[in-house]
Every structure is written in structure tokens, then in C-alpha cells.
Amino acid sequence: MGEVSVFAPSHITGIFTVKDGCKKPVFKGSRGAGVSLRKGVYTTVRLEKNHRWDVSVYLNGKPVNGKMTVSLATVKKFFRLASPNKVLINHKVEVPIGAGYGVSGACALSLSLALNEALNTGLSKVEAAQIAHTAEIECKTGLGTVLAESFGGVEIRVEAGAPGIGSLKKIENVEKFMVLSLCWGGLPTKKFLRNEAFKKRVNMVGGVLLNKLIKNPSIDSLMFLSRRFADRLNLYTLRLKKILAGLAELEKELRPFSMNMFGEAVFTLIERERLGEVVRRLKLFNGFGGQLIVSDIDNLGARIIG
């Protein structure tokens, strides 16, 4: 097949724990909880037969010049599965990059599904998703994002690992909710995932809170426990501290805002009918700035669209 397009939702993680003591990347990952967004990544793959592999990656129409390491890592895993091609990859990304919206995972996942279809390699969706998960683990750009984005929804990842190995449960009755997020920039995911002391703290705090969420799976519990997780880790920049202080009055009427893991960004889940009112009130805050992201929840997960 000459051209294939795939959509993968973006994803915000509110709580997580780390499992990285295994040798095989498919067994590494994270337990955790978060939400998949209808705003995500659209990846198109175009192929031309060639005597050698020749890969070009574009991000929102611009060449990335080797910066999309997870995309390159993903496509290289197909070199042994198919004959050489000239591969043109274009990622259209609808959310901020490097700011806790799971873009690396969505790029890897949508790309792997597209390559599997375009190259006719015959992998199942789960097997193609495992390639994306492995690429993200090896590039240290994420842990459990691919598992979450494969299935969508508001999820609790109860077992760590790649799709087919890790497992999740969806929080039900989420149709009336939307995702509301404010973003100012990124935080260094790789730095956090390489820090052993930090990972121990994450596992201690996250494990307790995740077990509470499993016992009481609801939107309210997710946001309350995510905020407690963020407060305990205290990765807040000075700006985020000011933002959360400014949101305190609004939170009394809604659910807590919490911090995207990892990004200089906050999010909450809100009933659709209250969205307009809340957005208007947010715009009245002086000095907030940042990018406002409003999205439906994506309940379907990554899928071929053309």
C-alpha cells in the first residue's frame, strides 16, 4: 500500500509508578492513570520502492532533521520486516510537544500502525503497538503512554508493560466530560526517568494513590488523587505554583486541577455544559497566559483512518 494515515490520541498522565527492572522493553513501563484526548497526532506514511531504506520525517509540515528520535527508532524496527523503501513520514500534532501530552508515544504508535499497514508486514495491532512501546522505552520518552493511547478513554493502568502484556481498566460513564488544560511549556522527561531517587519516590507515592483509585474508580477520584500525587512530588515551577494558587477559588466549584506528568501544564476534567462558563472565567485571570487546550475524551484509541 502506497499511503496510510493513522490517528493516535494524545494523553495526559495524572498518577504513575515506574517498572523498569526487566531486561526486555515490552515488560517495562508504568502503572498509572490518565486520560486520552481527541486532539492528538495524525501520521501519514508514503512509500516508494527503493534499493535502500531512505527515511524522511516531517513534523507539522517541517523537516525534523533527526530530532524525532522515537519516530526514527520506530521505523528502524521495520527494516528487518520488509524490503527497502523510501519512507516519507508526516506527523500532524494538535497539542503542545514535550509538555506532558504524550506526543512521543502518539507519534510512535501512529507510525508503527501506519508502517505495518503500508508495508503489509502482517503484524496484529497489539504487535505493532509493542514496537512503538519498545521504541519509546529505549528512547526514554515515556513509559505507559503507548498502552493508554492504544485503547483510549480515562484509564487506570493496573499492570505495567506494552500492549498485550500490560493491562488497563477504563473508568466508565465519561461521555459528559471534556479535558481542559493550560500549558506553558515542557519539562525534561528523560532527566526524570534517569533519576533513581526520583523513581523510588514516585513508586512510593504513586503506588498508594493508584491503589486508592483502583478501589474507587471515578473522575472525581482521579482528579483528587492526581493533585495529591503532584503535590507530593512537588515538581511545580514557580509559575505553576502561582497558577494553582490562582485557581483555588474555581476549584471549590469544580474538581482539582493537577499537573501534567511531565510538563509545565495543568489539567482537569469538566462537564461539557460548564465548559463555556469556566473558559470565560479563566480568561479573566490576569497574567495566566499559556495555551488553552480543550478536547473531548477519545474513547477509541489509535486507529487507521485512511
The reply to whether omega before 262 is within 30° of 0 (cis) is yes
- pLDDT for position 103: 97
Q: Cell 488497563, residue? A: 168
Residue 224 CB coordination number (10 Å): 19
Q: How deeply is 276 buried, as exposed, middle or buried, from its count of CB atoms within 10 A (0-12, 13-18, 19+)?
A: exposed
- pLDDT for position 289: 80
- pLDDT for position 1: 58
Beta strands in the chain (DSSP E): 3-19, 29-49, 54-59, 62-63, 85-93, 154-159, 167-170, 177-186, 258-259, 263-271, 291-296, 303-304
- pLDDT for position 159: 97
- pLDDT for position 286: 59
Q: Are 7 and 40 in contact (CB under 8 A)?
A: yes
- pLDDT for position 163: 98
Q: Cell 508514503, residue? A: 46
Domains of the chain (ranges; CATH) run 1-306 (3.30.230.120)
Sequential DSSP letters for 21-73: -SSSGGG-EEEEEEEEEEEEEEEEEEEEE-SS-EEEEEETTEE-TT--HHHHH
**pLDDT tens, residue order, the chain (306 aa):** 589 999 999 999 999 999 998 999 999 999 999 999 999 999 999 999 999 999 999 999 999 876 678 999 999 999 999 999 999 999 999 999 999 999 999 999 999 999 999 999 999 999 999 999 999 999 999 999 999 999 999 999 999 999 999 999 999 999 999 999 999 999 877 777 788 899 999 999 999 999 999 999 999 999 999 999 999 999 999 999 999 998 998 999 999 999 999 999 999 999 999 999 999 888 776 567 889 999 999 999 999 999
Q: Are 145 and 302 in contact (CB under 8 A)?
A: no
